[in-house]
């Protein structure tokens, strides 16, 4: 304890650029990275805290990917896509995520949907957010308090990059028209009300969001090139970012009216629409 508090004191003057240690692993078609402040975990015990924490997070992601990936022929999701099993025979965990997803479909008036236009059940839209959420529980249980978890551009944080100071983590948001530049930043954790930031769009994976869901689906282009949503939890941020890209301005207004969120949307021509929380 004594040693830790000394390190915090030493850390304070360098608040603008806190020293972090990070570890990465691949899962769900992307790279997940976990960063810890060197003061409380990154360097403590020769980095063993960080190694242990990363292993805990990786177990969560790997377990969910094994069950829900449509890229794994042996996953429960793939067997369901091939109609080898029905929802009635599905595991309790699978049905629980299905319930989450259908609940979100109701809350977003169908703009978030767990079904592909071809009718295949695809829960991947909710699984990454859920995995991040469960990883947070795993990190809590191994006793890590200050961390930043980034799963392919979706971010959840806890505590502060400079432990004990209350200063938030600063997340940059990529400019979809110039992937090497930052469009904006947003404070997460620390004294900020929000801990989660999720971004959806067509910048990295093409038009991977189905417009307006089943029934009224058509592959029209979204009016938004990229939508970032800050929320208190990552599943809400993730689902709403997806729904706003799919539902356009109407869903954007519904999201800001109905949830405690901040939104930054980039239009196709590069213009921005944002809630007041993104104003400098």
Partner 1 sequence: MRLRAAVSAALASAGILLVGWQSGAHVANTGSTAATTSATTSNGTTSGAAAGGGTKSGSSGSSSSSGSSSSTGSSGSAGAAAQAAGTYAGSVVQTRFGAVQVQITVKAGAITDVTALQLTDEDRKSVQISNRAAPLLRAEVIKAQSAQVQTIGGATVTSDAYLSSLQGALDAANL
Site for partner 1 in 62-121 (CB under 8 A): none
Contact flag: residue 13 with partner 1 (CB under 8 A): no
Look at residue 212 and give its three-state secondary structure. Answer: coil
Q: Site for partner 1 (CB under 8 A): which residue of 30, 78, 165, 217?
A: 30
Q: Site for partner 1 (CB under 8 A): which residue of 12, 33, 102, 165?
A: 33
CB 89, min distance to partner 1, A: 31
Site for partner 1 in 200-259 (CB under 8 A): 200-205, 208, 226, 228, 252-253, 256-257
x/- mask, partner 1, residues 149-188, rule CB under 8 A, reads -x-xxxx-x---x-------xxxxxx-x--xx-xxxxxx-
Structure token pair of residue 250:
């109407």
Is the CA virtual torsion 17, 21, 26, 28 positive or negative? negative
Contact flag: residue 126 with partner 1 (CB under 8 A): no
Q: Which stretch binds partner 1 (CB under 8 A): 10-18, 52-60, 87-95, 213-221?
A: 10-18
Q: Which is nearer to partner 1, 104 or 147 (CB)?
A: 147
CB 109, min distance to partner 1, A: 17
Q: Which is nearer to partner 1, 90 or 186 (CB)?
A: 186
Contact flag: residue 199 with partner 1 (CB under 8 A): yes
User: How far apart are the C-alpha atoms of 171 and 114, rounded to whole Å?
Assistant: 28
Look at residue 105 and give its three-state secondary structure. Answer: helix
What DSSP string runs through 144-165? --SEEEEETTEEEEES-SSTTS
CB distance 80 to 86 below 8 Å: yes
Place of tokens 């067509």: 202
DSSP 8-state secondary structure symbol assigned to residue 233: S
138: number of Cβ within 10 Å = 17
Q: Which is nearer to partner 1, 46 or 180 (CB)?
A: 180
Closest CA to 43 of 163, 172, 189: 163
Structure token pair of residue 13:
């003057």
Q: How far is C-alpha 213 from the chain's CA centre? A: 21
Question: What is the contact surface with partner 1 in residues (CB under 8 A)?
Answer: 16-18, 20-24, 26, 29-31, 33, 35, 42, 128, 148, 150, 152-155, 157, 161, 169-174, 176, 179-180, 182-187, 197-205, 208, 226, 228, 252-253, 256-257, 260, 262-265, 271-280
């Amino acid at each position: 304890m004594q040693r830790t508090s000394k390190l915090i004191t030493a850390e304070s003057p360098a608040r603008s650029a806190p020293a972090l240690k990070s570890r990465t692993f691949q899962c769900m078609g992307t790279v997940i990275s976990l960063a810890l402040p060197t003061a409380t975990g990154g360097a403590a015990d020769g980095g063993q805290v960080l190694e242990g924490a990363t292993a805990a997070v990786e177990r969560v992601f790997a377990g969910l990917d094994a069950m829900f990936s449509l890229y794994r022929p042996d996953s429960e999701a793939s067997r369901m896509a091939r109609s080898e099993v029905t929802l009635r025979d599905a595991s309790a965990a699978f049905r629980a995520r299905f319930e989450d997803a259908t609940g979100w479909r109701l809350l977003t008036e169908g703009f978030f949907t767990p079904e592909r236009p071809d009718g295949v059940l695809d829960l991947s839209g909710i699984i990454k957010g859920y995995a991040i959420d469960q990883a947070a529980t795993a990190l809590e249980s191994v006793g890590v308090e200050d961390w930043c978890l980034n799963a392919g551009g979706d971010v959840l944080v806890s505590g502060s990059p400079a432990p004990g100071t209350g200063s938030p983590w600063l997340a940059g948001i990529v400019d979809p028209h110039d992937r090497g530049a930052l469009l904006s930043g947003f404070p997460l954790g620390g004294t900020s009300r929000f801990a989660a930031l999720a971004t959806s769009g067509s910048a990295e994976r093409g038009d991977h969001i189905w417009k307006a869901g089943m029934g009224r689906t058509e592959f029209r282009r979204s009016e938004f090139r990229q939508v970032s949503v800050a929320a208190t939890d990552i599943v809400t941020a993730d689902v709403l970012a997806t729904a706003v890209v799919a539902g356009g301005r109407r869903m954007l207004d519904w999201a800001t009216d109905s949830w405690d969120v901040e939104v930054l949307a980039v239009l196709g021509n590069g213009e921005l629409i944002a809630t007041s929380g993104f104003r400098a």
